[in-house]
Protein backbone atom coordinates (compact mmCIF):
# COMPACT_ATOMS: atom_id res chain seq x y z
CA UNK A 1 0.00 0.00 0.00
CA UNK A 2 1.49 3.33 -1.08
CA UNK A 3 1.88 6.04 1.53
CA UNK A 4 0.21 9.39 0.85
CA UNK A 5 1.23 12.70 2.34
CA UNK A 6 -1.98 14.73 2.66
CA UNK A 7 -1.19 18.44 2.80
CA UNK A 8 -3.64 21.18 3.79
CA UNK A 9 -3.02 24.82 4.68
CA UNK A 10 -4.85 26.12 7.73
CA UNK A 11 -5.77 29.75 8.26
CA UNK A 12 -8.72 30.60 10.48
CA UNK A 13 -10.54 27.47 9.32
CA UNK A 14 -12.62 26.82 12.43
CA UNK A 15 -15.85 26.78 10.43
CA UNK A 16 -14.75 23.86 8.26
CA UNK A 17 -11.83 21.99 9.80
CA UNK A 18 -13.76 19.43 11.90
CA UNK A 19 -15.76 17.79 9.07
CA UNK A 20 -12.67 17.92 6.88
CA UNK A 21 -10.52 15.96 9.34
CA UNK A 22 -13.37 13.53 9.92
CA UNK A 23 -13.47 12.85 6.16
CA UNK A 24 -9.70 12.31 6.09
CA UNK A 25 -9.40 9.90 9.02
CA UNK A 26 -12.36 7.83 7.79
CA UNK A 27 -10.62 6.89 4.53
CA UNK A 28 -10.52 3.29 3.36
CA UNK A 29 -6.91 3.84 2.31
CA UNK A 30 -5.30 4.10 5.73
CA UNK A 31 -1.60 4.53 4.93
CA UNK A 32 -1.19 8.29 5.05
CA UNK A 33 -0.07 11.19 7.17
CA UNK A 34 -1.96 14.46 7.13
CA UNK A 35 0.22 17.56 7.38
CA UNK A 36 -1.80 20.51 8.62
CA UNK A 37 0.27 23.63 8.03
CA UNK A 38 -1.08 26.44 10.20
CA UNK A 39 -0.41 29.96 8.95
CA UNK A 40 -0.83 31.57 12.37
CA UNK A 41 -4.58 31.13 12.74
CA UNK A 42 -6.22 33.52 15.20
CA UNK A 43 -9.48 31.64 15.68
CA UNK A 44 -10.04 28.34 17.53
CA UNK A 45 -8.92 26.10 14.64
CA UNK A 46 -6.01 24.65 16.65
CA UNK A 47 -8.26 23.92 19.62
CA UNK A 48 -10.58 21.92 17.36
CA UNK A 49 -7.66 19.97 15.90
CA UNK A 50 -6.36 19.15 19.38
CA UNK A 51 -9.52 17.12 19.98
CA UNK A 52 -8.37 14.59 17.38
CA UNK A 53 -5.92 11.99 18.68
CA UNK A 54 -5.17 10.16 15.42
CA UNK A 55 -1.40 9.56 15.25
CA UNK A 56 -1.36 10.29 11.51
CA UNK A 57 -2.12 13.96 12.11
CA UNK A 58 0.96 16.21 11.90
CA UNK A 59 0.34 19.82 12.91
CA UNK A 60 3.05 22.28 11.84
CA UNK A 61 2.65 25.84 13.11
CA UNK A 62 4.10 28.93 11.44
CA UNK A 63 4.70 32.11 13.44
CA UNK A 64 3.15 34.21 10.67
CA UNK A 65 1.04 33.80 7.55
CA UNK A 66 3.65 32.83 4.98
CA UNK A 67 1.15 32.23 2.18
CA UNK A 68 -0.35 29.18 0.54
CA UNK A 69 2.53 28.16 -1.73
CA UNK A 70 5.18 28.34 0.98
CA UNK A 71 2.97 26.46 3.44
CA UNK A 72 2.22 23.74 0.88
CA UNK A 73 5.95 23.34 0.29
CA UNK A 74 6.52 22.76 4.00
CA UNK A 75 3.93 19.99 3.96
CA UNK A 76 5.33 18.42 0.79
CA UNK A 77 8.89 18.39 2.13
CA UNK A 78 7.77 16.81 5.39
CA UNK A 79 5.81 14.17 3.47
CA UNK A 80 8.92 13.23 1.50
CA UNK A 81 10.97 13.03 4.70
CA UNK A 82 8.39 10.54 5.99
CA UNK A 83 8.76 8.40 2.85
CA UNK A 84 5.46 9.30 1.21
CA UNK A 85 5.49 8.41 -2.49
CA UNK A 86 2.49 10.64 -3.28
CA UNK A 87 1.26 14.02 -2.12
CA UNK A 88 -2.43 14.88 -1.96
CA UNK A 89 -2.99 18.64 -1.88
CA UNK A 90 -6.36 19.45 -0.32
CA UNK A 91 -8.30 22.52 0.69
CA UNK A 92 -9.91 22.05 4.09
CA UNK A 93 -13.21 23.64 3.04
CA UNK A 94 -14.25 20.37 1.37
CA UNK A 95 -16.07 17.17 2.27
CA UNK A 96 -15.79 13.80 0.56
CA UNK A 97 -16.54 10.09 0.85
CA UNK A 98 -14.35 7.42 2.41
CA UNK A 99 -13.18 6.05 -0.96
CA UNK A 100 -11.54 9.25 -2.24
CA UNK A 101 -7.91 8.36 -1.49
CA UNK A 102 -8.16 4.79 -2.76
CA UNK A 103 -10.11 5.93 -5.82
CA UNK A 104 -7.51 8.54 -6.76
CA UNK A 105 -4.72 5.95 -6.57
CA UNK A 106 -6.75 3.50 -8.65
CA UNK A 107 -7.39 6.22 -11.21
CA UNK A 108 -3.66 6.89 -11.51
CA UNK A 109 -3.05 3.21 -12.19
CA UNK A 110 -5.94 2.98 -14.64
CA UNK A 111 -5.01 6.05 -16.70
CA UNK A 112 -1.24 5.69 -16.33
CA UNK A 113 -0.90 9.27 -15.11
CA UNK A 114 1.19 11.10 -12.52
CA UNK A 115 -1.54 13.49 -11.39
CA UNK A 116 -5.28 13.06 -10.96
CA UNK A 117 -8.21 15.20 -9.83
CA UNK A 118 -11.87 14.36 -9.11
CA UNK A 119 -15.10 16.06 -10.09
CA UNK A 120 -15.79 18.92 -7.68
CA UNK A 121 -19.28 20.13 -6.85
CA UNK A 122 -20.56 23.12 -4.89
CA UNK A 123 -21.26 22.05 -1.30
CA UNK A 124 -24.13 24.56 -1.08
CA UNK A 125 -25.82 22.98 -4.14
CA UNK A 126 -24.57 19.47 -4.67
CA UNK A 127 -26.04 19.22 -8.19
CA UNK A 128 -23.99 22.15 -9.50
CA UNK A 129 -20.48 21.66 -10.90
CA UNK A 130 -17.45 23.65 -9.75
CA UNK A 131 -14.81 21.65 -11.66
CA UNK A 132 -15.14 18.95 -14.31
CA UNK A 133 -11.76 19.25 -16.00
CA UNK A 134 -9.66 22.27 -16.87
CA UNK A 135 -7.47 23.66 -19.63
CA UNK A 136 -5.28 26.73 -20.14
CA UNK A 137 -6.68 29.37 -22.45
CA UNK A 138 -4.03 31.38 -24.30
CA UNK A 139 -6.45 34.10 -25.38
CA UNK A 140 -7.08 34.89 -21.68
CA UNK A 141 -3.40 35.24 -20.86
CA UNK A 142 -2.96 31.49 -20.29
CA UNK A 143 -5.49 31.52 -17.47
CA UNK A 144 -7.11 28.13 -16.83
CA UNK A 145 -10.84 27.58 -16.92
CA UNK A 146 -13.10 25.10 -15.13
CA UNK A 147 -15.23 23.09 -17.53
CA UNK A 148 -18.84 22.90 -16.47
CA UNK A 149 -18.60 25.70 -13.92
CA UNK A 150 -22.06 26.40 -12.44
CA UNK A 151 -23.73 23.88 -14.76
CA UNK A 152 -26.20 21.35 -13.39
CA UNK A 153 -24.60 17.91 -13.40
CA UNK A 154 -26.60 15.60 -15.65
CA UNK A 155 -23.68 13.34 -16.46
CA UNK A 156 -22.40 15.44 -19.37
CA UNK A 157 -18.82 15.29 -18.05
CA UNK A 158 -18.72 11.70 -16.84
CA UNK A 159 -16.00 10.55 -19.24
CA UNK A 160 -12.44 10.42 -17.86
CA UNK A 161 -10.15 12.67 -19.87
CA UNK A 162 -6.61 14.02 -19.86
CA UNK A 163 -6.63 17.69 -18.85
CA UNK A 164 -4.14 20.54 -18.47
CA UNK A 165 -5.28 22.04 -15.19
CA UNK A 166 -6.79 21.12 -11.85
CA UNK A 167 -7.12 23.19 -8.72
CA UNK A 168 -5.11 22.18 -5.68
CA UNK A 169 -8.48 22.06 -3.96
CA UNK A 170 -7.87 18.34 -4.57
CA UNK A 171 -4.88 17.10 -6.54
CA UNK A 172 -2.96 13.82 -6.13
CA UNK A 173 0.65 14.18 -7.29
CA UNK A 174 3.38 11.54 -7.57
CA UNK A 175 6.70 12.39 -5.92
CA UNK A 176 8.45 12.24 -9.32
CA UNK A 177 6.44 15.25 -10.51
CA UNK A 178 7.85 17.45 -7.75
CA UNK A 179 11.34 16.12 -8.44
CA UNK A 180 11.04 17.05 -12.12
CA UNK A 181 8.98 20.25 -11.94
CA UNK A 182 10.04 21.69 -8.60
CA UNK A 183 8.05 22.95 -5.63
CA UNK A 184 5.38 25.63 -5.56
CA UNK A 185 6.65 29.10 -6.39
CA UNK A 186 6.58 30.87 -3.02
CA UNK A 187 6.38 34.34 -4.61
CA UNK A 188 2.65 33.64 -4.96
CA UNK A 189 1.19 34.44 -1.55
CA UNK A 190 -2.22 33.18 -2.64
CA UNK A 191 -3.90 32.61 -6.03
CA UNK A 192 -1.97 31.52 -9.14
CA UNK A 193 0.22 29.11 -7.15
CA UNK A 194 -1.67 26.12 -8.58
CA UNK A 195 -1.93 27.77 -12.03
CA UNK A 196 1.83 28.25 -12.13
CA UNK A 197 2.57 24.72 -10.91
CA UNK A 198 0.22 23.01 -13.37
CA UNK A 199 1.43 25.19 -16.24
CA UNK A 200 4.98 24.02 -15.53
CA UNK A 201 3.71 20.43 -15.60
CA UNK A 202 1.97 21.21 -18.91
CA UNK A 203 5.13 22.68 -20.47
CA UNK A 204 7.31 19.84 -19.23
CA UNK A 205 5.00 17.32 -21.00
CA UNK A 206 6.48 14.35 -19.13
CA UNK A 207 3.72 13.90 -16.58
CA UNK A 208 0.03 13.59 -17.45
CA UNK A 209 -2.94 14.90 -15.48
CA UNK A 210 -6.33 13.18 -15.69
CA UNK A 211 -9.82 14.10 -14.55
CA UNK A 212 -11.63 11.20 -12.87
CA UNK A 213 -15.41 11.90 -12.79
CA UNK A 214 -16.42 8.86 -10.75
CA UNK A 215 -14.79 10.50 -7.72
CA UNK A 216 -16.71 13.45 -6.33
CA UNK A 217 -16.08 15.93 -3.54
CA UNK A 218 -17.98 18.97 -2.35
CA UNK A 219 -16.37 22.39 -2.06
CA UNK A 220 -17.60 25.11 0.30
CA UNK A 221 -16.64 27.77 -2.23
CA UNK A 222 -15.84 31.15 -0.71
CA UNK A 223 -16.17 29.97 2.89
CA UNK A 224 -12.58 30.87 3.74
CA UNK A 225 -11.56 33.44 1.14
CA UNK A 226 -12.21 37.15 1.11
CA UNK A 227 -12.64 37.49 -2.64
CA UNK A 228 -15.89 39.48 -2.45
CA UNK A 229 -17.00 42.40 -0.32
CA UNK A 230 -20.75 42.09 -0.22
CA UNK A 231 -22.37 39.93 -2.88
CA UNK A 232 -20.77 41.17 -6.10
CA UNK A 233 -17.87 43.56 -5.44
CA UNK A 234 -14.34 42.19 -5.45
CA UNK A 235 -12.35 42.76 -2.27
CA UNK A 236 -9.09 44.73 -2.32
CA UNK A 237 -6.98 41.74 -1.30
CA UNK A 238 -8.34 39.61 -4.15
CA UNK A 239 -7.73 42.38 -6.69
CA UNK A 240 -4.19 43.00 -5.53
CA UNK A 241 -3.14 39.35 -5.50
CA UNK A 242 -4.74 38.44 -8.82
CA UNK A 243 -3.51 41.45 -10.76
CA UNK A 244 0.12 41.29 -9.63
CA UNK A 245 0.29 37.50 -9.81
CA UNK A 246 -1.02 37.42 -13.38
CA UNK A 247 1.72 39.83 -14.45
CA UNK A 248 4.36 37.72 -12.70
CA UNK A 249 2.96 34.51 -14.18
CA UNK A 250 3.16 35.94 -17.70
CA UNK A 251 6.69 37.22 -17.11
CA UNK A 252 7.75 33.67 -16.23
CA UNK A 253 6.38 32.32 -19.51
CA UNK A 254 8.72 34.67 -21.43
CA UNK A 255 7.04 34.32 -24.81
CA UNK A 256 6.37 37.22 -27.17
CA UNK A 257 2.63 36.64 -26.73
CA UNK A 258 2.99 36.70 -22.93
CA UNK A 259 4.83 40.03 -23.06
CA UNK A 260 2.16 41.42 -25.37
CA UNK A 261 -0.52 40.29 -22.94
CA UNK A 262 1.23 42.02 -20.03
CA UNK A 263 0.87 45.32 -21.90
CA UNK A 264 -2.73 44.46 -22.79
CA UNK A 265 -3.48 43.79 -19.11
CA UNK A 266 -2.72 47.38 -18.16
CA UNK A 267 -5.50 48.66 -20.40
CA UNK A 268 -7.83 45.74 -19.63
CA UNK A 269 -7.58 46.30 -15.88
CA UNK A 270 -8.33 50.00 -16.20
CA UNK A 271 -11.26 49.40 -18.53
CA UNK A 272 -12.59 46.85 -16.08
CA UNK A 273 -12.31 49.41 -13.31
CA UNK A 274 -14.41 51.85 -15.38
CA UNK A 275 -17.06 49.48 -16.65
CA UNK A 276 -17.23 46.40 -14.40
CA UNK A 277 -19.77 46.28 -11.59
CA UNK A 278 -17.41 43.96 -9.66
CA UNK A 279 -15.09 46.85 -8.75
CA UNK A 280 -15.73 49.71 -6.36
CA UNK A 281 -15.73 53.07 -8.14
CA UNK A 282 -13.41 55.18 -6.03
CA UNK A 283 -9.93 56.60 -6.39
CA UNK A 284 -8.47 54.16 -3.84
CA UNK A 285 -9.52 51.20 -5.99
CA UNK A 286 -8.12 52.88 -9.11
CA UNK A 287 -4.77 53.30 -7.34
CA UNK A 288 -4.87 49.72 -6.06
CA UNK A 289 -5.48 48.30 -9.54
CA UNK A 290 -2.54 50.14 -11.05
CA UNK A 291 -0.19 49.75 -8.09
CA UNK A 292 -0.85 45.99 -8.10
CA UNK A 293 -0.07 45.81 -11.82
CA UNK A 294 3.40 47.32 -11.32
CA UNK A 295 4.01 45.15 -8.24
CA UNK A 296 3.90 42.21 -10.64
CA UNK A 297 7.20 43.39 -12.11
CA UNK A 298 8.89 43.29 -8.71
CA UNK A 299 8.12 39.68 -7.78
Tell me: the pLDDT tens digits for 109-151? 999 999 999 999 999 999 999 999 999 999 999 999 999 999 9
Domain boundaries, the chain: 4-219, 228-295
pLDDT at 225 over 60: no
The whole-chain average pLDDT of the chain stands at: 96
Instruction: Give the SS3 label for residue 223.
Output: coil
C-alpha triplet 225, 228, 232: angle, nearest 5°: 150
168/172 Cα distance (integer angstroms): 9
Predicted TM-score (pTM) of this structure: 0.95
Residue 4: what pLDDT? 98
Helices 193-204 and 236-253: angle between axes, nearest 10 degrees: 20
Residue 228: what pLDDT? 44
Kindly state the average pLDDT of the residues 277-299.
96
pLDDT at 282 over 60: yes
Q: Which fold has domain 4-219?
A: Spore Coat Polysaccharide Biosynthesis Protein SpsA; Chain A (3.90.550)
CA distances for 198 relative to 14, 45, 114, angstroms = 29, 30, 12
Question: Does the CA dihedral 52-55-57-63 come out positive or negative?
Answer: positive
Beta strand 4-10 with 86-90: parallel, antiparallel or unpaired? parallel
pLDDT at 229 over 60: no
Amino acid sequence: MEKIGVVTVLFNSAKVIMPFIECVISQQHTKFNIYIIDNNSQDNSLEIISNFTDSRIRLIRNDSNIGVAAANNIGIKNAFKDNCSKVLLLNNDIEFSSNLFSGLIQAQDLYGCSLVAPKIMFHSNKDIIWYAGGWFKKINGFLPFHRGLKEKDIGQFNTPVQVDYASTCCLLVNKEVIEDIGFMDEKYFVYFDDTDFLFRVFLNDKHKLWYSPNLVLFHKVGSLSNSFKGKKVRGDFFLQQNIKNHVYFLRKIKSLYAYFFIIFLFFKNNLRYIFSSSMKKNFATFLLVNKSYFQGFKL
